[in-house]
């Protein structure tokens, strides 16, 4: 069986790059923000936090909060014709 090369962050050097002014410590307000069920959110990755990160193919998508799972939120997005649920940490979300 072939060995898999790379992982979730493969080929994301420029996609997950931070802008020069936003480098450094992560904002606690973004880390501790809360959402209600039915809220629209944008998926924007925070490269400094790997926990609760989604797959890079969903970068920039907009979804709806379906519920909460631990510290993370279940986000319902539409990927082509399928409806998918992502489990995302609030640091990677912004309200739309």
Q: Report yes or no on 23 lying in a domain.
A: no
Instruction: State the residue range of the domain holding 69.
Output: 38-95
pLDDT digits (tens, 9 = 90+) for 38-96: 999 999 999 999 999 999 999 999 999 999 999 999 999 999 999 999 999 999 999 98
Count the domains in the chain: 1
* Residues in CB range of 90: below 8 A, 6 or more apart: 30, 31, 32, 33, 34, 35, 52, 71, 72, 73
Q: Is 35 helix (H, G, I), strand (E, B) or coil?
A: coil
- Residue 45 has φ and ψ, to the nearest 5°, of -75, 145
Q: Report yes or no on 9 lying in a domain.
A: no
For the domain that residue 43 is a member of, what is the CATH number? 2.30.30.70
Q: Report yes or no on 29 lying in a domain.
A: no
Q: Report yes or no on 18 lying in a domain.
A: no
31 band by pLDDT with thresholds 50, 70 and 90:
very high
44, 30 Cβ separation under 8 angstroms: no
Q: Can you tell me the distance from the alpha carbon of 41 to that of 96, in angstroms, rounded to the nearest whole number?
A: 5
5 band by pLDDT with thresholds 50, 70 and 90:
confident
């Amino acid at each position: 069986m072939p060995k898999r090369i790379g992982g979730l962050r493969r080929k994301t050097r420029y996609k997950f790059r931070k802008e020069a002014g936003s480098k450094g410590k992560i904002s606690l307000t973004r880390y501790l923000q809360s959402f209600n069920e039915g809220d629209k959110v944008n998926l924007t990755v925070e490269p400094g936090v790997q926990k609760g990160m989604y797959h890079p193919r969903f970068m920039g998508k907009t979804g709806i909060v379906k519920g909460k799972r631990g510290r993370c939120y279940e986000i319902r997005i539409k990927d082509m014709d399928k409806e998918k649920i992502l489990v995302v940490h609030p640091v990677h979300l912004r309200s739309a």
